[in-house]
Chains A and B, each alone.
Chain A
Amino acid sequence: MGLPAALWGPLGLLSSLALHAALGAHPHRDYCVLGAGPAGLQMAAFLHRAGRDYEVFERAPAPGSFFTRYPRHRKLISINKRYTGKTNAEFNLRHDWNSLLSPDPRLLFRHYSRAYFPDAGDMVRYLRDFADRLGLHVQYNTNIVHVTLEKDRQAWNGHYFILTNQKGQLYRCSVLLVASGLSVPNQVDFPGSEYAEGYETVSVDPEDFVGQNVLILGRGNSAFETAENILGVTNFIHMLSRSRVRLSWATHYVGDLRAINNGLLDTYQLKSLDGLLESDLRDLAIVKDAKGKFHITLKFFLEETNASQSADSIPLPQDNSDNFAMRVAYDRVIRCLGWNFDFSIFNQSLRLSSGGEFSKKYPLIRASYESKGSRGLFILGTASHSLDYRKSAGGFIHGFRYTVRAVHRLLEHRHHGLAWPHTAHPVSQLTDSIIRRVNEASGLYQMFGVLADVVLLKENATVFEYLEEFPMQMLAQLETLTGRTAKHGLFVINMEYGRNFSGPDKDVFFHDRSVGHTEDAWQSNFLHPVIYYYRHLPTEQEVRFRPAHWPLPRPTAIHHIVEDFLTDWTAPVGHILPLRRFLENCLDTDLRSFYAESCFLFALTRQKLPPFCQQGYLQMQGLASTESLRKHGVESGLLPDYATTGQVLEDGSQQPGDREPGGHLPATGHLIQSLDSSKQEL
Chain B
Amino acid sequence: MPFDFSVFRVLVFFFIMCILSTSAGDTLPELSPQKYFSTLQPGKASLAYFCHADFPSTSVVLEQLNEAVRPLQDYGISVAKVNCAKEEEASKYCGKEKDLIKAYLFRGNILLREFPSDTLFDVNAIVAHVLFALLFNEVKYVTTQEDIQNIENTVKGKANIIFAYVRAIGTPEHRAVMEAAFVYGTVYQFVLTTETGVLESIGSENIEHAHLYFFHCKLVSDLTQQCRRTLMGQPLTTLNIHVFVKTMKAPLLTEVAEDPQQVSTVHLQLGLPLVFIVSQKATYEADRRTAEWVAWHLLGKAGVLLLLRDSLEVNIPQHTNVVFKRAEKDMPVEFLVLPDVDSIISHVENNMHMEEIPDDEDSDMEDPDMDIQDDEVAETVYRDRKRQLPLELTMELTEETFNPTVMASDSVVLFYAGWQAVSLAFLQSYIDVADKLKGTSAALFTRINCADWSDVCTKQNVTEFPAVKMYKKGENPVSYTGMLGTEGLLRFIQLNRISCPVIITSIQEAEEYLNGELYEGLMTYSTLSVLGLFSPTMTTAKEDFTEAGNYLKGGVLTGIYSEEDVWILANKYAVTLPALLLARHKDDKIESIPLAGTHTQDIVQIITDASREAFPEITVENLPNYFRLQKPLLILFSDGSINPQYRKAMLTLVEQKRLDSFTPCWLNLKNTPVGRGILQAYFGLLPPLPLLALVNLHSSGQVFAFPSDRSITEQNLALWLKKLEAGLENPITILSAQEWKPPLPAYDFLSMMDAATAQHSTGKAPGCMKETDTQESDKEQHEDKLAVRKEPVETLRIKHWNRNNWFKETEKSLRPHKEL
Contact = CB atoms under 8 A, between A and B. Distances in A.
A633 B379 CA distance: 7
B747 to A, nearest CB: 6
A605 B682 contact: yes
A637 interface: yes
Contact of B264 (A519, A535, A655, A664): A664
A645 B680 contact: yes
A413 B119 CA distance: 99
A637 B376 CA distance: 9
Contact of B382 (A572, A661, A675): A572
A354 to B, nearest CB: 27
Contacts of B782: 535, 556
B749 A521 contact: yes
29 contacts: A87-B452, A89-B455, A105-B399, A432-B420, A554-B772, A554-B775, A557-B750, A565-B815, A572-B378, A577-B371, A577-B375, A578-B371, A581-B744, A582-B747, A589-B741, A597-B620, A597-B674, A608-B740, A618-B624, A618-B628, A625-B425, A629-B384, A632-B383, A638-B374, A642-B673, A655-B709, A656-B707, A682-B43, A682-B45
Contacts of A656: 683, 687, 691, 705-708, 732
A565 B814 CA distance: 11
Interface stretch (B210-218, B539-547, B784-792): B784-792
Contact of A641 (B281, B464, B481, B816): B281
Contact of B750 (A518, A555, A662): A555
A643 B735 contact: no
B745 A637 contact: no
A632 B380 contact: yes
B174 to A, nearest CB: 18
A565 B419 CA distance: 17
Given A577-B370, A642-B676, 7 more contacts: A436-B417, A517-B803, A545-B768, A645-B310, A646-B680, A656-B691, A664-B265
A581 B134 contact: no
B795 interface: no
Contact of A663 (B254, B398, B817): B254
Given A592-B374, A664-B265, A677 B186 contact: yes
Contact of A593 (B378, B768, B800, B804): B378
A662 B753 contact: no
Interface stretch (A129-137, A370-378, A507-515): A507-515
Interface in B655-706: 672-678, 680-689, 691, 695, 697, 701, 705-706
B815 A516 contact: yes
By size class, the interface of chain A is 35 or more
A87 B398 contact: yes
A606 B736 contact: yes
A640 B307 CA distance: 12
Interface string A495-513: 0000000000000010111
Interface string B1-41: 00000000100110011001000000000000000000000
Nearest to A630: B380
B377 interface: yes
Contacts of B315: 637-638
Contact of B376 (A90, A105, A594, A645): A594
A611 B685 contact: no
Interface stretch (B143-151, B482-490, B515-523): B482-490
A609 B748 CA distance: 27
Contacts of B741: 588-590
B483 A622 contact: yes
Contact of A609 (B485, B680, B740): B740
Given A610-B740, A642-B677, A668 B12 contact: yes
A429 B464 contact: yes
Contact of B425 (A606, A626, A640, A664): A626
Contact of B484 (A511, A578, A621): A621
A663 B258 CA distance: 14
Contacts of A630: 380
B234 interface: no
Nearest to B623: A600
A657 interface: yes
A682 B76 contact: yes
A435 B454 CA distance: 13
B574 interface: no
B194 interface: no
A601 B736 contact: no
Contacts of B677: 601, 605, 640, 642, 645
B766 to A, nearest CB: 13
Nearest to A570: B419
Interface stretch (B156-164, B426-434, B438-446, B524-532): B426-434
A580 interface: yes
Contacts of A617: 483, 624
Contacts of B762: none
A604 B311 contact: no
Contact of B13 (A88, A588, A671): A671
B187 interface: yes
Given A517-B803, A607-B736, A678 B376 contact: no
A141 B377 CA distance: 62
A622 B398 CA distance: 28
A623 B425 contact: yes
A311 interface: no
Interface string B494-529: 000000000000000000000000000000000000
Contacts of B785: 588
Interface string B461-497: 0011100000000000000011111111000000000
Q: Which 4 A-B pairs have the closest CB atoms?
A: A624-B485, A570-B419, A514-B817, A584-B742
Interface in A233-264: none
A352 interface: no
A271 interface: no
B269 A667 contact: yes
A573 interface: yes
A584 B624 contact: no
